[in-house]
Structure 1
Amino acid sequence: MKANNKRDVNVSKFDTATKTIHVFVALCDNQYQGIVPVPKTIGNGQDPDNNLYWGCANGIRSYFKKSKEWKLLKTQKLDKIRMERLVFKHVSKNYYLVADAYDGQYIKKTTTDFLYSAAGLLKDTIKINKTTIGINGNAKMVAYIGHDGLMDFQLNENFSNADGKQRDAIILACISKKYFAPHLSQAKANPLLWTTGLMAPEAYTLHDALSSYIAGGTADQIRTKGAMAYTKFQKCSLKASKNLLVTGY
């Protein structure tokens, strides 16, 4: 919902004691994305259940459902583009995590929704039980997971910050600092974690970075936690992971 929409009156009303992390996942898609092909089953961008970035063991849905730090509250189908939404609540802090799985052929919309949210141009709310939480630009943090579509297409949209608020951002995609920086700086968002090279944007990096974030970690502590997870799962050196995963502009 764009901020200048007539619903803007409603999208600003949510429980400000809650904090939300909104994760935008572009499902891995051999057919519609400029990626090195992965096995057919996990590279079908129209099949969230088996997708590399969602239903696979290290996909967002599977990994966070297994986490002892998060409790799944709700699963819903939204529309043909956002194929599934998950809402988690942190077990000890007043944080919610909302993750949306976008059909892989709509990677451009995934990217623009993320950037509009980072800029505060796109805002919305959802009700979970009796609590209304802020999502999109009402979230404290927005995160993008998936292929870096900006390597394949250009965006001409304006992502100028709409409300003077700075949102934190994590972008786990290949070479995301280089490609997203012009848009993210326009949005005046705070890049806590993004990348300088090719990477596997699986859930463990986000999960462990968020553990530090929610605990009040500094940007460098958040980066280190994410890098340690990447090192563990990718079996590379911590130095290599910290060269890949960086913080700030």
Structure 2
Amino acid sequence: MRPVVNHEDKKSVPFTSDTKTIHVFVALCDNKYQGIVPVPEKIGNGQDPDNNLYWGCGFGVRTYFKKSKEWKFLESRKLQSGKLERIIFRHTTKNYYLVADAYDGQFIKNATVDFLNSSAGNEKDTLKTGKTVIGIGGNANLLAFTGHDGLMDFQLNQTFENTDKQKRDVIILACYSKKYFSPHLQKANVNPLVLTSGLMSPEAYTLHDAISGYLNSETSEQIRSRAAKAYSKYQKCSEKAARNLLVTGW
């Protein structure tokens, strides 16, 4: 059963037109509710964001971006139902905001559907931080999904067809994301910057460095190369292997 989503702002609220947003959907690692190779119990509790592998641990999204010199942490908000926490950052030199949502691991299907609907522009929202209203979901410029690839475990009957003719950039850091996400995004009119061709560890350094290239207006290939270098460094694998894993385009 899908939980009630906590919409902080009405969709009709206009957002500040000169600001741009990156919206990250994080499905918390969950030994109990996801078809993953089990990780240590403490970091694999999908209901505990503070200690979760993909959020509160050293290479989790919240911790890693908080330590980044490129991003200024603005605030954290506790959410209800399927989303446990939302964090908001502003880039230190560019007019970009980054919003990341931590989904309870048992609601990975919700996280996946929300990401797909947002990528197609069918689920748009806004939020206010300070005096600024920013666009999230389908109002964001870049959307990213990180975590387990739940599409390996469940099927979706929905279609995600773009209706507003806007092309959004996407990054999907999950195992075999090109294979499993591509069929659902064929009609979504997205630009796939970084996808994966095999098993991978979706920790935050890959996402962070890919976004750095994106904000520098680099090409898709350059962004992919940044992601591969980061993955190679932290996973202690060859850069060739990382480049084979992290791909761009369909």
* Fold in common (TM above 0.5): yes
Measure, in 2, the Cα distance between the counterparts of 1:162 and 1:82. 26
Q: Residue 76 of structure 2 aligns to a residue in which SS?
A: strand
C-alpha distance after superposition, 1:83-133 (max 9, x if no partner): 000000000000000000000000000000000000000000001111110
How many aligned positions are there?
243
Measure, in 2, the Cα distance between the counterparts of 1:75 and 1:157. 31
Match of 2:131 in 1: 130
Q: Residue 186 of structure 1 aligns to a residue in which SS?
A: coil
Alpha-carbon deviation of 1:158? 1.5
Match of 2:64 in 1: 63
Q: Residue 42 of structure 2 aligns to a residue in which SS?
A: coil
What aligned pairs does 1:37-76 form with structure 2 within 5 A after superposition?
Answer: 37-76=38-77
Alpha-carbon deviation of 1:184? 1.4
Alpha-carbon deviation of 1:80? 2.3
Measure, in 2, the Cα distance between the counterparts of 1:57 and 1:103. 19
Measure, in 2, the Cα distance between the counterparts of 1:70 and 1:34. 33
C-alpha distance after superposition, 1:29-48 (max 9, x if no partner): 00000000000000000000
Opposite residue 243 of structure 1, the aligned amino acid is N
C-alpha distance after superposition, 1:160-204 (max 9, x if no partner): 002000100000000000000011122111110010000000000
Match of 2:17 in 1: 16
Measure, in 1, the Cα distance between the counterparts of 2:195 and 2:45. 25
Opposite residue 153 of structure 2, the aligned amino acid is D
Match of 2:32 in 1: 31
Segments of 5+ residues of structure 2 without an aligned counterpart are: none
TM-score (norm. length: structure 1): 0.96
Opposite residue 166 of structure 2, the aligned amino acid is K
Alpha-carbon deviation of 1:235? 0.5
Q: Residue 88 of structure 1 aligns to a residue in which SS?
A: strand
Match of 2:165 in 1: 164
Measure, in 1, the Cα distance between the counterparts of 2:202 and 2:33. 18
Match of 1:94 in 2: 95
Match of 2:227 in 1: 226
Q: Which runs of 4+ in 1 moved over 3 A?
A: none
What aligned pairs does 1:137-216 form with structure 2 within 5 A after superposition?
Answer: 137-216=138-217
Alpha-carbon deviation of 1:157? 0.6
CA root-mean-square deviation: 1.2
Segments of 5+ residues of structure 1 without an aligned counterpart are: none
